[in-house]
């Protein structure tokens, strides 16, 4: 498990993630499960539709699947729970 603190201008995030071997029989895959937590402190959107952060909590997940070839990452698939993030930012209704 790793913890990384980063401010992207949109959300100050504390990223906690783990990397574990894939559950399927293909030994050339690695799955990374990520959980992003932090507080909405920046600005989301632009012009009249922009939302200013109010410090509300943000907590969403993502999954990365890596295919390994010759000891290197050959392919990467990334799936992020953007609906949950947008709901927490107040950009879409729950």
Q: Is residue 16 part of a domain?
A: yes
Nearest to 33 by CA among 74, 78, 88, 82: 78
Count up the domains in the chain and report the number. Answer: 1
Nearest to 63 by CA among 83, 80, 41, 45: 80
Full residue range of the structural domain in which residue 54 is found: 2-89
Q: How far apart are CA 16 and CA 92, in angstroms?
A: 25
pLDDT of amino acid 83:
94
Measure Cα distances from 80 to 8, 14, 57, 58 in Å: 17, 16, 17, 14
pLDDT in tens, the chain (94 residues): 444 445 555 555 545 555 555 555 567 888 888 888 888 888 888 878 788 888 888 888 888 888 989 989 999 999 999 999 999 988 888 8
CATH number at residue 83: 3.10.450.50
pLDDT of amino acid 87:
93
Q: Is residue 94 part of a domain?
A: no
pLDDT of amino acid 4:
45
Q: Is residue 70 part of a domain?
A: yes
pLDDT of amino acid 23:
57
Q: Is residue 78 part of a domain?
A: yes
């Amino acid at each position: 498990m790793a913890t990384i603190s980063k401010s992207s201008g949109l959300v100050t995030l504390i990223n906690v993630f783990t990397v574990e071997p894939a559950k399927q029989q293909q030994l050339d895959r690695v799955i990374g499960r990520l959980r992003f937590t932090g507080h909405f402190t920046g600005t989301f959107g632009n012009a009249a539709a922009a939302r200013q952060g109010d410090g509300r909590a943000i907590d969403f997940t993502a999954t990365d699947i890596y295919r390994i070839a010759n000891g290197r990452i050959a392919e990467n698939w990334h799936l992020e729970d953007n609906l949950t993030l947008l709901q927490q930012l107040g950009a879409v209704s729950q």
